[in-house]
Amino acid sequence: MTASQDFAILGYDVQRKLGEGGMASVWLAVEAETGRRVAIKLLAKGKGDEAAEKRFLMEGETLAHLPHANIVQVLEVVHEEDRSYIVMECLEGGVLSKRMSTGWLTLSDHVGFIVQIAGALQYAHEHGVIHRDLKPDNILFRDARTPVLTDFGIARLRRDLTDSRITETGMVIGTPTYMSPEQATGQEVDGRSDQYALGVLFYEMLAGKPPFVGETAMQIAFAHVHQPPPSLPGGYDFIEPLVMKMLAKDPKQRFPDLKAFVAELKGALTGSPILQKRLKIDPTADISEQLQAIGFSENQLSLRIPRMLGVETPTGALKHMLLEGSALELEPVQVTRREVVHETKNNRSVPIMLILVVLFVVAAVAVVGMFF
Query: Which amino acid is located at 6 in the chain?
Result: D
d(CA 259, CA 144): 24
β-strands 12-20, 156-157 pairing? unpaired
Helix or strand or coil: residue 189?
A: coil
Give the CA radius of gyration of the chain: 30
Helix or strand or coil: residue 12?
A: strand
| 103 Rama class: left (phi>0) / alpha (psi -120 to 50) / beta | left
Residue 133 bears catalytic tag: yes
β-strands 129-130, 25-31 pairing? unpaired
Which secondary structure element, helix H or strand E, spans residue 87, and what is its range? strand 83-89
Residues 10-15: contacts with CB under 8 Å, at least 24 apart: 12/38, 12/40, 12/87, 14/40
d(CA 319, CA 265): 10
Query: Which amino acid is located at 7 in the chain?
Result: F
Q: Rounded to a whole number, what is the largest CA-CA distance in the chain?
A: 135
Q: Are 14 and 1 in contact (CB under 8 A)?
A: yes
Torsion angle of alpha carbons 153, 251, 112, 101, nearest 10°? -60
What's the burial of 173, exposed, middle or buried (CB within 10 Å: 0-12/13-18/19+)? middle
β-strands 146-149, 83-89 pairing? unpaired
In this structure, the number of other CB atoms found within 10 A of the CB of residue 23 comes to 17
Of 6, 82, 133, 151, the active-site residue reads 133
Q: Are 225 and 308 in contact (CB under 8 A)?
A: no
Closest Cα to residue 62, out of 143, 132, 146, 141? 132
Helix or strand or coil: residue 130?
A: strand
Active-site positions read: 133
